[in-house]
């Protein structure tokens, strides 16, 4: 670990080699880079990370790449060839963490698997992200975000009972796995730096990252035989609870999870007697009669335009939210006050708005955002500066199409 510069973020001095592509592996790097870790992204010379070629585009620049490639350095290296593997081993000697999300066995096939690299640098922390994990009968099977959502049981409980399962609108398995990967890297760094431990191999699977977020699904099925199914927008902890439509076509999300809140809602509706109705007097009773209570609430909300509904709900201190569109997000004063959207200055396409680093740290804030690099933009700095190669050696790498 190099010397830490507090002005550059709390993880300044941590050097990460990012070998992953697309989302799950690279976002581990993005999360760490937001707080100051030096991320050296290693890409194949023939095109680099495929996410660079996925739209939408602005003046030829992938917006997705520019969000997840921020705060990183890019070097090119063909790791499929022995000469490239030798260079990677030199880089590993100078690294704290290596992140990869190739199919299990790929790195070992290239002679740079965990067993090879821990000999080069016993202090190395290697984070491997894969669909099914590094072990087990399915380890070698290919998997992507939606496949992991299906295997983890998430898709089976998402959507309406009379229709096919519905995927979330974003790559949840990839981003959840990245979060676990970054979390695990920090645990491993703490173990190494504060507890005198050594390096270790971290095994993150897409399906287990999703599975951990299925709350009591397995517990309830195993212990009391309750098997969750697709219920649309209903949830057993919210009665009433739904996405209620207003008369002007907007949707209000409301969750009522206890009796005092329900009493407030009935007062707001001008139907206080509902709180004493035996069908609705307790949360359990309301869940049994969820169709009836949701219909009553839905009819009340549907009688008004969205602004009137919100004014009444806020006036009675009831939890709710408008179902936000991206336009709502960009215009909302709370997003602005929190600085939840950061604007990064890109040298080619100008100002880019994107989600700000999270969480917020009072004593160790995130670094200033830097634009995502062009492919191989940092070859000379890393190979010449970090590894000490002279110009002739770097030119030889280029001539041999290794970088």
| pLDDT score at 3 | 53
Q: How far apart are CA 403 and CA 390, in angstroms?
A: 15
Q: Is 219 helix (H, G, I), strand (E, B) or coil?
A: helix
Task: Please state which of the four CATH numbers 3.40.50.720, 2.40.10.10, 1.10.10.410, 3.30.1540.10 is assigned to the domain occupying 241-329.
Answer: 3.30.1540.10
For the chain, which residues make up each domain, given as ranges? 6-213+358-399, 241-329
| pLDDT score at 5 | 56
Task: Please state which of the four CATH numbers 3.40.50.10540, 3.40.50.2000, 3.40.710.10, 3.40.50.2300 is assigned to the domain occupying 6-213+358-399.
Answer: 3.40.50.10540
| pLDDT score at 8 | 82
| Residue 60, CA distances (Å) to 54, 55, 346, 349, 374 in order | 10, 9, 13, 9, 12
Tokens of 50: 């495929």
Statement: residue 380 has pLDDT above 80: yes
β-pairing verdict for 350-355 and 341-346: antiparallel
Q: Is-same-fold flag (6-213+358-399; 241-329)?
A: no
Statement: residue 1 has pLDDT above 80: no
Statement: residue 142 has pLDDT above 80: yes
Q: How far apart are CA 344 and CA 371, in angstroms?
A: 7
Q: How far apart are CA 112 and CA 91, in angstroms?
A: 12
Q: How far apart are CA 319 and CA 253, in angstroms?
A: 9
- Cβ atoms of 170 and 145 within 8 Å: the answer is no
Active-site residue set = 174
Question: Which tens digit of pLDDT belongs to each residue from 20-46?
Answer: 999 999 999 999 999 999 999 999 999
Question: Which tens digit of pLDDT belongs to each residue from 251-273?
Answer: 999 999 999 999 999 999 999 99
Share of the chain above pLDDT 90, in %: 97
Confidence of residue 85 (pLDDT cuts 50, 70, 90): very high
Average pLDDT, the chain: 96
| pLDDT score at 106 | 96
| Average of per-residue pLDDT across 165-191 | 97
Question: Which tens digit of pLDDT belongs to each residue from 308-356?
Answer: 999 999 999 999 999 999 999 999 999 999 999 999 999 999 999 999 9
């Amino acid at each position: 670990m190099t010397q830490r510069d507090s002005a550059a973020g709390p993880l300044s001095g941590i050097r990460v080699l990012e070998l992953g592509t697309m989302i799950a592996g690279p976002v581990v790097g993005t999360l760490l880079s937001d707080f100051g870790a030096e991320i050296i992204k290693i890409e194949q010379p023939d095109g680099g990370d495929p996410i660079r070629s996925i739209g939408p585009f602005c003046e030829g620049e992938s917006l997705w790449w520019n969000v997840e490639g921020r705060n990183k350095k890019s070097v090119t290296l063909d790791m499929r060839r022995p000469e490239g593997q030798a260079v990677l081993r030199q880089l590993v000697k100078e690294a704290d963490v290596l992140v990869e999300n190739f199919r299990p066995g790929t790195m070992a096939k290239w002679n740079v698997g965990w067993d090879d690299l821990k000999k080069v640098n016993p202090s190395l922390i290697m984070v491997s992200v894969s669909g099914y994990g590094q072990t087990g009968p399915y380890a070698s099977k290919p998997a992507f975000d939606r496949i992991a959502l299906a295997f983890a049981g998430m898709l089976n409980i998402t959507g309406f009972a009379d229709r096919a399962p519905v995927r979330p609108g974003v790559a949840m398995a990839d981003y959840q796995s990245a979060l676990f990967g970054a979390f695990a890297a920090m645990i491993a760094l703490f173990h190494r730096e504060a507890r005198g431990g050594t390096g270790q191999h971290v095994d993150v699977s897409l399906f287990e990252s999703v599975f951990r977020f299925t709350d009591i699904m397995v517990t309830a099925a195993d212990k009391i035989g309750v098997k969750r199914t697709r219920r649309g927008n209903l949830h057993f902890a919210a009665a009433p609870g739904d996405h209620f439509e207003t008369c002007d076509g907007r949707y209000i999300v409301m969750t009522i999870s206890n009796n005092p809140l329900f009493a407030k809602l009935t007062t707001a509706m001008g139907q206080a007697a509902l709180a004493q109705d035996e069908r609705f007097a307790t949360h359990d009773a309301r869940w049994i009669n969820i169709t009836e209570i949701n219909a009553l609430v839905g009819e009340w909300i549907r009688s008004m335009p969205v602004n009137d509904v919100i004014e009444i709900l806020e006036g009675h201190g009831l939890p709710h939210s408008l179902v936000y569109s991206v336009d709502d997000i960009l215009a909302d004063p709370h997003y602005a006050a929190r600085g939840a959207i950061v604007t990064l200055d890109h040298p080619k396409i100008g100002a880019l708005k994107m989600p700000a680093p999270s969480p917020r740290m009072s004593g160790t804030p995130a670094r200033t955002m830097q634009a995502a690099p062009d492919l191989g933009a940092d070859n000379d700095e890393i190979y010449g500066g970090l590894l000490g190669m002279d110009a002739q050696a770097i030119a030889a790498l280029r001539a041999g199409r290794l970088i």
